[in-house]
Amino acid sequence: MEAKTTIAEILNGTNKIIVPSYQRAYAWEIPKEKRNRATQIDVFIQDLENYLNSNPTSPYYFGHFLFEKKGGLLFNIIDGQQRLTSIVIFLSAIFKSLREKRELTEKEEVLFENTIKRRSTVHFETVDYDNLLFKDYVITQDKKDKNGIDTESGKRIVAAFDYFVNLLKDKNEEYCTRMLAAVTTAVCTTHEVADESEAIQMFIFQNNRGKKPTNLEIIKAQFMYQVHLFGDDEKDAIIKDIKERFEKIYKSISSIEYKISEDDVLTYTLKVHFNSLWETNAVAKINEELTKNNGIEFVKEFTKSLAISFEHLTRFFGKDERENFSIHSLITLGGIGVAVPFILKAYRFGLPKTTIAELCQNFETVVLRNRLIGTRADITSRLTEVYINFTQNNTDIHPIIVRINFLKTTDFNWWNYWNNVELEKAIQGGLNHTTAKFILWKYENTLESEGKSGYSASRYDTIESPELEHMAPSTEPTLKPHGFGIYDEEFRNQHLNCLGNYLLLSKSHNCSVSNNPLKDKLESYNHSYQQREIKDFITESELWDKEAISKRKTKIIEFVMDNF
């Protein structure tokens, strides 16, 4: 490839460009409703439109691309794959839109064959586990449905193509042809290397426009470069092993990335690998290890350790979360960083799912208390001893549970920040809405199970768009009598925002009741036990006032103290 070229030349029909499977899969996102920040797809389109609106006299610039030449005209793309994937998706959408408006011209047909597909030959391939979908949905467009897409990256590919198609549907022919010309004639710079170590080194140090590499991507590149430098006779085998493990890692990321950050998994793996909860700076720690005896053994062991962590967390956030209520409950609560290293150890030690669930159930109380109480005291130091002693030779989780229960009940200084006294104080007033919804969901399950044997708890994800309703509205209804008592200073400050006045509703239900009078709200409260229970707290004067809210708050606080 020429150092300075165009997109049409990069995608020239004689070239074959592949995103290797040890690279990140497609990560660009489309704009979404009620999201303020611009996405990469937003910026992609806006930049092109701004360029066209400026009546340009020079070509558009698409940045720099780094390729590893694999032989002949076959290239692995090392840096710039997100942009190039988006460009191919956009071009395919443009050709589709033009075909729907009219027949392609001879020049456009040639351009399509040279950039997208000639007969059975596709010129650009994404990572192999998404490539069949990419080909069928984007390139040939034989696939019309969205069934069977099991990776987040695959869903993003489909979403990007659909977004571009819908955008172009409302545009005229001139817009499409101008966009086609702007993209295909856009200039870019390329660097082509035949030596993989040089490509990796350039990736590490190159600060290119686009999404900043994650710590995991940097570590992967450093590992491969380290092996190229010091791997000696083992180099090829170790590089192959790293690539295969990272292929599995990126598949895992595509399944769990909305549930946990890949860089957090890197840090948790560090904590497990070195049996220390104090490991927090992954890049610094790994760089330190790489300097010891050239670091090759560490690279081999830690890459394996990392792949195992992703494998176990894929199971934890996937199959096990779907099948086990205690695991589902902890994941629903969120903010579970303090628990994950223990959970990863439990999976590595081969403990049964029932034991892992018991661990989750106990850590739920720690996570919830730590969030509600909001102390500056560090809970990590209070758990370090039991974490260190939790090993392959000592897999008993009982000492961990004992420590958690000690934190809940002790009055000893240095330990007593999370005890029952502090918890009861913390839940008197307003709570974070996400946390309040979690508590009310658990409260609902308790109400449902009363007097029932063999009761199966209801999952949080069965609630349609759960929202937190203020029984007595935050703003006093203008229509009187409304049934909510007197909105004096005490009522506003002590009763409006507390567990007694919160109610868990679906979004549609919440919108429908809004600031309605009490009578109308009560008539609609028949979808859950806690909704129907509201009537039990109404005062003799048929008001939802300070007395009613206080009575309900007392009951919910008793539930929290008994269960967390």
- 124 forms beta bridges with 17
Q: Does one domain contain both 280 and 152?
A: no
Number of domains in the chain: 3
Last residue of a domain, one of 168, 194, 220: 194
Q: What is the mean predicted confidence (pLDDT) over 486-496?
A: 92
Determine the pLDDT at residue 511: 82
Structure tokens at 423: 């918890």
Strand, helix or coil for residue 479:
coil
Last residue of a domain, one of 137, 165, 194: 194
Confidence of residue 208 (pLDDT cuts 50, 70, 90): very low
In this predicted structure, which of 45-49, 391-395, 403-407, 509-513 has the lowest mean pLDDT?
A: 509-513
Q: Does one domain contain both 383 and 408?
A: yes
- 6 forms beta bridges with 187
Q: Does one domain contain both 341 and 232?
A: yes
Greatest alpha-carbon pair distance for the chain in Å reads 87
Q: Does one domain contain both 95 and 58?
A: yes
Of the spans 18-22, 113-117, 403-407, 527-531, which averages the highest pLDDT?
A: 403-407
Q: Does one domain contain both 411 and 476?
A: no
Determine the pLDDT at residue 36: 61
> Is 459 a member of any domain?
no
Structure tokens at 391: 């090993």
Q: Is residue 93 over pLDDT 90?
A: yes
- Residues across the chain: 564
The model's pTM is 0.79
Q: Does one domain contain both 250 and 333?
A: yes
Determine the pLDDT at residue 270: 96
> Is 458 a member of any domain?
no
> Is 474 a member of any domain?
yes
> Is 382 a member of any domain?
yes
> Is 385 a member of any domain?
yes
Q: Does one domain contain both 420 and 442?
A: no
> Is 508 a member of any domain?
yes
Confidence of residue 34 (pLDDT cuts 50, 70, 90): low
Q: Is residue 450 over pLDDT 90?
A: no
Q: Is residue 209 over pLDDT 50?
A: no
> Is 350 a member of any domain?
yes
Range of the domain at 90: 4-194
Q: Does one domain contain both 179 and 95?
A: yes
Q: What is the mean predicted confidence (pLDDT) over 140-154?
A: 88
Last residue of a domain, one of 194, 218, 234: 194
Where is pLDDT greater, at 203 or 535? 535
Determine the pLDDT at residue 37: 62
Tens digit of each residue's pLDDT (9 = 90 or more) over 389-425: 999 999 999 999 999 999 999 999 999 999 999 999 9
Q: Does one domain contain both 414 and 442?
A: no
Determine the pLDDT at residue 114: 86
Q: Does one domain contain both 352 and 479?
A: no
Contact call for residues 137 and 157 (beta carbons, < 8 A): yes
Q: Does one domain contain both 233 and 293?
A: yes
Tens digit of each residue's pLDDT (9 = 90 or more) over 210-259: 456 789 988 988 898 888 888 888 888 998 899 889 988 988 988 888 89
Q: Does one domain contain both 174 and 298?
A: no
Q: Is residue 454 over pLDDT 70?
A: no
Q: Name residue, tokens 């086609």.
A: 180
